[in-house]
Every structure is written in C-alpha cells, then in structure tokens.
Amino acid sequence: MKKTAVVTGGAGFLGSHLCDKLINEGMRIFCIDNLLTGSIQNISHLFGEKDFTFYKYDVTNYIHIPGNVDYILHFASPASPADYMHYPIQTLKVGSLGTHKALGLAKEKKAVFLLASTSEIYGDPIIHPQPETYWGNVNPTGPRGVYDEAKRFAEALVMAYHRSHGINTKIARIFNTYGTRMRLDDGRALPTFIAQALRNDDVTVYGDGSQTRSFCYVDDMIDGIYRLLLSDENEPINFGNPEELTIKQLAEKIVAFTNSKSKIIFKELPVDDPKIRQPDIKKASKKLNWFPYVALDLGLEKTIGYFQKITDSI
C-alpha cells in the first residue's frame, strides 16, 4: 500500500516543494493550509494528481484525517520576519496549539512526526557556527520573540511527546533557504533584493551590511528533510548551506546578476536582527550523508529567472 503523508503548511514555499517530493516518491498526500501566507498557486499543478488532497484549514483546531497516516510533516507557520511580525498571535498559536494538534494526530495514527524548526531558535548567536548543542541567545519579549519562542516551545513539545508517548519524532532546524515559489513581498533579504533590483529600485540593506547569512537552495533543503524523515534520528538536526557571506555582498551579487541600475542604500538595523548566521552541518553530514550541492550563483540564477517571469506577468 502507498504511504500516506500529511503536510501542514503545504501551500507555502517549503511545504509545496515538499508535497512535490513526496508525490514523486509515490506517497499519497493530504496538504493542509489556511492560506494565511501560503498560496494556491504553489500547489495548483498538483490538483490533477489522484493522490493529492488539499484542505483549507487552520491546524490550531482539531485535525481529522481519514484512514492510515504514516508521516506528518508540520510546516504550518509564518516564516519571514515581515509575516510573523504582522501575524504575531497567529504565529504563536500555530507553533503551540498547531504543533499540539498535529502531534495529537501523530499519536492517534502512530505516525512519524517531523517538525520544521528554524535557525531562529539560536537567536542572535554568540557561538559561531551554530551546532545543535547550542541553546541560543533569544530575547523572548522582543518583536522576533513570537517566532523564536513559538519554535522553541514546539521543539520542547515534540520531545515531550517523543519521551512520554514514544512517538517517532524528527526536528529539522532550517537555516536560510531560498528558491522558486518565494513571494516577491516575502520581506526576507534575498527576495526583497531581487524584487528591488528587477524594478531598478534602491536595494535596501539594513545596518551596515556586515551581518552574515548562509543561503541554502530549496532543492538541497528538501533532500535533507526527506532523508531525516526516513532516518532513525530523533534529536534536532541543522540543515543549511555553510557558505557564508555578508548581506552587503548578497545585495551586490544580486544587482550584478540582474544587470540592474539599482543603488544600494542603508537603513537602520531592526531590533534583535542576528549579526551572524551559519549552520554547523556535521551532524547532518555524518548521520544522513547529506550535503548541500547547489552553489549560490546557480541557485540565484534559477530564483531570479522565476521572479523575472512573475514580474513580467504583472
């Protein structure tokens, strides 16, 4: 019999790519999304698949899925600072109540449960790069705390269900990821820079641009998540590309790639914005034989091409 997977947040950027992967691996998919930040366009190509079912639903409520369920992948949550600061209460609810309801379904169905966690649980780190053993440096009452603490609580709840109920749980700590199906108005640096450069607008860099990030292409990220899903690992695992660059370097690269006339301007750094961000992926490499392969230049070429088509159609 075909394996059945439930993907919450399945119409989002990562969730939709995950649905593609699981369909291609021969699974039956139940995709759940309330479309707060997700988009039907991300999954419309799957509506003709007999093994794909979409429910528009808020997973902070009780979740019922008929029949057997083998895997539950909890990806429901606003993920960009612009989104979770605009929807702070919804972000906290989906990280707490939504995770609780999804774990309840996993308990009922005796299913494997995978949580999409985040590098944001490390906050503004004082250890570099960040290994899974680092507990983080998070401001719980700052504007970013709604997302950081929602994910930290979700991780604690997942491990409690693992220890108390014996559920086979997984925690993927996802570092900055980019690629097709990101929104132009996502609010994160990379899509914002691309959108501004394509319009020849000023490219806005916050702070002096010296803060660093490490960007992983979506295909590599989905491969890592799938490997984790099928593994025996229950402790958190980092996924990201360790290739680090400054935000200013990223802006300059995007302006060059798009042949833009944009100028780079600088604005005040937001509160609690992390100064450094780089994943330590030794654990993923050793336990899952996972490595990111898509170089930033190639990934940017694909992503810029995707955004170019979107802007041309507007």
User: For the domain with range 182-213+243-277+295-313, which CATH number is right: 3.30.2350.10, 1.10.10.10, 3.90.25.10, 3.20.20.150?
Assistant: 3.90.25.10
Q: Is 134 a catalytic residue?
A: no
pTM over 0.75: yes
The confidence score (pLDDT) of residue 270 equals 85
Nearest to 147 by CA among 156, 139, 158, 135: 139
The confidence score (pLDDT) of residue 314 equals 63
Q: Which of 147, 178, 217, 226 is catalytic?
A: 147
Q: Find how far residue 89's CA is from the centre of its chain.
A: 19
CB 109 within 8 A of CB 68: yes
Q: Classify 4-177+215-239 by CATH class.
A: alpha beta
Nearest to 228 by CA among 220, 237, 219: 237
Q: Rounded to whole angstroms, what are the CA distances from 190 to 221, 266, 277?
A: 16, 15, 15
CB 207 within 8 A of CB 268: yes
For the chain (314 residues), the mean pLDDT of every run of 10, in chain order, is: 97 98 98 98 97 98 97 98 96 98 98 98 96 97 96 98 98 98 92 96 95 97 98 98 96 97 94 91 98 97 94 74
**Domain boundaries in the chain?**
4-177+215-239, 182-213+243-277+295-313
Instruction: Collapse the DSSP code of 54 into the 3-class scheme (helix H, G, I; strand E, B; otherwise coil) and give the result.
Output: strand
Q: Is the dihedral of CA 253, 225, 122, 273 positive or negative?
A: positive
